[in-house]
C-alpha cells in the first residue's frame, strides 16, 4: 500500500488551498513578505509534489515595499472554472494593534504556469478570502470580517458577496453568514457543495496550538448554517504527543478516483513549542458519514504522519538539486527575495557568468529594500554552504551567509571591514530586535574567495569557514547558537513565516558595493555540528 508521508510540503508552506483540475492537483500556500508571491505545488498522485513557477512575479501584481514582518500574502485561494484559474489572496499592510489593513485581490490565468493577470481589487474588510463557484455559474467571495472596535469580537464572522465576471468586481449586498463556534477566532473559510448541502469549512482557535478545522452546513448559500455536532473535525489541541501540531486551516478535494482528502496547516516543534520550520502542509484522508458529515478516515480527529494514498499510478518528480552553480540566466524557482523582485539593479546572473552578483542595499532591519536571496529551511537537520568573493572597504559594507526569520530575528555570518583588522569575518545576531555582535570574535581574512557554511541540528546552529590560502580544513567559528528565536513562537507577538537560509549584501554607505557568490548548497544533514566539515572537504580534496 502506497502511503502519503506528512508533511507533504515541509518547511514554510502554510494555509493550503488544494485544487484538482482533471487528473492534476495543485496546492497554493502563503508566502507573506517573501517575493515572488504565492507558492503553487503540483502533483499527479498526492504523494509526490513539485514547486511550479510563482504566479505573482511583477511589481504590478504585488508591491510589498514597506510591508510589516509577517504581512504580505496571506491565505491564497486557488480555484478553477470555465477554463480559467482564479487566484484570490490578501496583501496585509499592517497587523499590529487594533487595526489590520488587509487588501484582497483576484488574479487569473488560463494556464497554471502563467502568465497571470494583474490583480483586480476586491475588498479590504478582512483576510482569508476564498472564491466559491456555484453550480449555476455564479461566483461568491467569502472572507472573515475584522472588527477593530474595543470590546467586540475581532473575528466577527464570515461574510459573503457575489463576484461579477462581467463587471470584474464584487456586486450586491454583503451578508454575514456564520459567526463561528465556541472555539472562536473564526477564519480561513471555504465553501463546498455536496449532496444538496452547502458546506462551510473554517479555521478556528487561532493558528497556534489550539488551531482546529470546523464544519457547518446549510441548504441555502446564505444560511442558516448548522454546526457539525462533533466539531472540530481536525485538531492537534490537547495532544502534545503528536508530531504534527497546530492542525487547522484546511481545504478539501475529491480525487478523480472518487476519494476525499483534506489539505491542512501543521507545525512540527524542534524543541518545546518552537517551530523553526514554520507552518507546513499535510494531507489527511477523509470520508462522508451516512448523515452527511465529513470525518477523517479511520476515525478520530487528530492528524496522522502517514496516510493511505489514493488509488493512482505513482508519479514521482526529479529531486531538487542540492547545489545551485548559478550557471542559468534565471533564478531557480526555490529562491525567494525579501519584499521586492529580483531585478538587475541589485541582482545579476549575467554580469559575471557562473556567479550570483548581489549589490548591497539597505540594512537587515529594513522593511523596504534588502539585497537578500534565500530559500526555505525544510529539514530539522541541514547544512548550507556558499563561496563568496567580497572586498569591503568600510564597516558599513557586509556580505555573507544568513539564517533568517525576519528583520528582528536572524543570525548572520558576515564579511566586513574593520579599521584595525582589515577584511574580517564574524557573526552578528538580532534576537527579538536586539542587535548583538559578541557571538564570536572577528577573524582577519585574506583576499580572495572564502567558503561559508551553516550546519543546523534542530535548535542549534554552528557556523564554519574555509580559506585555502590560510588553512587545509574547515574552521569552526563561534560556539553553537540556539536559534529557537527563529520561530513563530518566539518574541512578544505572533509571527507567521519560517526560517530561510541564504546570502545577502549590505552597503550602508549607499555605494552598492557588490559581492559574488560562486554556488550555494542546501542539503539535509543527519550528522551533528561537530562533523560538519565532511561533505565539502571530501568533494574538493581538502584535508579533514
Boundaries of domain holding 120:
3-308
Does residue 482 have an active-site annotation? Answer: no
Q: How many domains does the chain have?
A: 2
User: Based on the domain organization, do 262 and 355 belong to the same domain?
Assistant: no
H or E element: which one contains 27? strand 24-29
Catalytic residue of the set 15, 204, 259, 457:
15
For residues 299 and 333, membership in a common domain is answered with no
Q: What tens digit of pLDDT does each residue of 284-324 get? A: 999 999 999 999 999 999 999 999 999 999 999 999 999 99
**CATH assignment at residue 404:** 2.60.120.200
Of residues 354, 360, 389, the one with CA closest to residue 467: 389
The reply to whether 257 and 380 lie within a common domain is no
Side by side, which strands form the sheet with 279-288? 245-254, 260-267, 279-288, 294-296
Mark whether 370 and 285 lie in a shared domain. no
Q: Full-prediction pTM beyond 0.85? A: yes
| pLDDT value at residue 526 | 78
Q: What's the pLDDT at 529?
A: 43
Backbone angles phi, psi at 482, to 5 degrees: -75, 120
Q: Is residue 460 in some structural domain?
A: yes
Report if residue 483 sits inside a domain.
Answer: yes
- Give domain status of residue 493, yes or no: yes
Point out the domain boundary residue: 250, 276, 308.
308
Write down the pLDDT at residue 544: 31
How far is the C-alpha of 19 from the C-alpha of 446, rounded, in Å?
Answer: 53
Domain boundary among 273, 308, 343: 308
In terms of domains, do 180 and 53 share one?
yes
Q: What is the pLDDT of residues 208-219, one digit of tens each?
A: 999 999 999 999
Give the H or E element holding residue 42: strand 39-43
Is 317 among the domain residues?
no
Q: Are residues 207 and 270 in the same domain?
A: yes
Read off the CATH number of the domain in which 158 is found.
Answer: 2.115.10.20
Last residue in a domain, options 255, 275, 308 = 308
Q: Which three cell numbers stand for residue 270?
A: 524542534
In a domain, 318, yes or no: no
Q: What is the pLDDT of residues 222-265, one digit of tens each?
A: 999 999 999 999 999 999 999 999 999 999 999 999 999 999 99
Is residue 315 assigned to a domain? no
Q: What is the block-wise mean pLDDT of the chain (544 residues), using blocks of 10 residues? A: 97 98 98 98 98 98 98 98 98 94 98 98 98 98 98 97 98 98 98 98 97 98 97 98 98 98 98 97 98 97 98 97 97 98 98 98 98 98 98 98 98 98 97 91 94 98 93 94 95 90 98 98 75 39 36
Are residues 382 and 267 part of one domain? no
Determine contact, residues 356/503, Cβ cutoff 8 Å.
yes
Does any domain span residue 215? yes
Strand partners, 344: none
pLDDT (0 to 100) of residue 527? 55
- Residue 472 burial (C-beta neighbours within 10 Å; 0-12, 13-18, 19+): exposed
Whether residue 490 is found in the same domain as residue 360 = yes
Instruction: Verify whether residue 518 is a known catalytic residue.
Output: no
Q: Which of 33, 45, 91, 187 is flagged as catalytic?
A: 187
Residue 405 belongs to some domain of the structure: yes
Domain match, 75 and 166 both: yes
Amino acid at each position: 500500500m502506497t502511503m502519503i508521508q506528512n508533511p507533504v510540503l515541509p518547511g514554510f508552506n502554510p494555509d493550503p488551498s488544494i485544487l484538482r483540475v482533471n487528473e492534476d492537483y495543485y496546492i497554493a500556500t502563503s508566502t507573506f513578505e517573501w517575493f515572488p508571491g504565492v507558492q503553487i505545488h503540483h502533483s499527479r498522485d498526492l504523494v509526490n509534489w513539485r514547486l511550479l513557477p510563482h504566479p505573482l512575479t511583477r511589481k504590478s501584481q504585488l508591491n510589498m515595499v514597506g510591508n510589516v514582518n509577517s504581512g504580505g500574502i496571506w491565505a491564497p485561494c486557488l480555484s478553477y472554472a470555465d477554463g480559467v484559474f482564479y487566484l484570490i489572496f490578501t496583501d496585509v499592510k499592517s497587523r499590529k494593534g487594533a487595526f489590520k489593513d488587509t487588501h484582497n485581490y483576484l488574479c487569473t490565468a488560463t494556464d497554471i504556469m502563467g502568465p497571470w493577470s494583474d490583480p483586480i481589487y476586491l475588498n479590504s474588510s478582512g483576510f482569508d478570502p476564498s472564491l466559491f463557484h456555484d453550480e449555476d455559474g455564479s461566483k461568491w467571495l467569502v472572507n472573515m470580517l475584522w472588527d477593530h472596535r474595543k470590546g467586540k469580537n475581532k473575528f466577527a464572522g464570515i461574510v459573503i458577496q457575489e463576484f461579477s465576471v462581467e463587471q470584474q468586481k464584487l456586486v450586491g449586498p454583503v451578508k454575514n453568514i456564520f459567526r463561528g463556534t465556541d472555539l472562536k477566532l473564526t477564519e480561513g473559510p471555504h465553501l463546498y457543495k455536496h449532496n444538496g448541502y452547502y458546506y462551510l469549512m473554517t479555521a478556528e482557535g487561532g493558528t497556534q496550538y489550539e488551531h482546529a478545522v470546523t464544519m457547518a452546513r446549510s441548504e441555502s448559500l446564505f444560511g442558516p448554517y448548522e454546526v457539525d455536532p462533533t466539531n472540530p473535525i481536525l485538531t492537534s489541541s490537547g495532544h502534545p504527543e503528536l508530531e504534527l501540531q497546530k492542525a487547522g486551516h484546511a481545504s478539501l478535494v475529491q480525487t478523480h478516483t472518487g476519494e476525499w482528502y483534506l489539505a491542512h496547516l501543521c507545525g512540527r516543534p524542534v524543541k518545546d513549542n518552537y517551530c523553526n520550520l514554520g507552518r507546513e502542509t499535510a494531507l489527511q484522508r477523509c470520508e462522508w458519514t451516512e448523515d452527511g458529515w465529513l470525518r477523517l478516515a479511520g476515525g478520530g480527529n487528530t492528524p496522522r504522519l502517514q496516510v493511505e494514498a489514493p488509488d493512482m499510478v505513482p508519479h514521482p518528480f526529479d529531486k531538487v538539486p542540492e547545489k545551485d552553480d548559478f550557471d542559468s540566466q534565471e533564478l531557480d524557482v526555490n529562491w525567494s527575495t525579501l519584499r521586492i523582485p529580483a531585478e538587475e539593479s541589485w541582482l545579476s546572473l549575467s554580469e559575471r557568468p557562473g556567479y550570483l552578483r548581489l549589490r548591497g542595499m539597505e540594512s537587515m532591519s529594513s522593511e523596504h529594500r534588502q539585497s537578500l536571496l534565500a530559500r526555505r529551511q525544510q529539514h530539522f537537520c541541514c547544512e548550507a554552504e556558499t563561496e563568496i568573493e567580497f572586498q569591503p572597504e568600510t564597516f558599513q559594507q557586509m556580505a555573507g551567509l544568513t539564517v533568517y526569520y525576519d528583520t528582528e530575528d536572524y543570525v548572520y555570518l558576515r564579511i566586513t571591514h574593520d579599521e584595525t583588522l582589515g577584511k574580517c569575518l564574524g557573526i552578528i545576531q538580532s534576537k527579538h530586535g536586539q542587535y548583538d555582535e559578541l557571538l564570536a570574535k572577528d577573524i582577519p581574512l585574506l583576499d580572495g574567495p572564502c567558503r561559508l557554511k551553516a550546519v543546523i541540528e534542530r535548535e542549534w546552529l554552528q557556523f564554519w569557514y574555509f580559506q585555502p590560502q590560510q588553512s587545509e580544513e574547515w574552521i569552526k567559528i563561534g560556539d553553537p547558537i540556539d536559534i529557537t528565536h527563529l520561530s513563530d513562537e518566539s518574541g512578544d507577538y505572533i509571527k507567521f513565516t519560517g526560517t530561510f537560509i541564504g546570502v545577502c549584501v549590505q552597503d550602508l554607505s549607499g555605494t552598492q558595493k557588490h559581492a559574488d557568490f560562486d554556488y550555494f548548497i542546501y542539503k539535509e544533514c543527519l550528522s551533528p555540528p561537530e562533523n560538519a566539515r565532511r561533505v565539502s572537504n571530501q568533494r574538493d580534496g581538502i584535508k579533514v
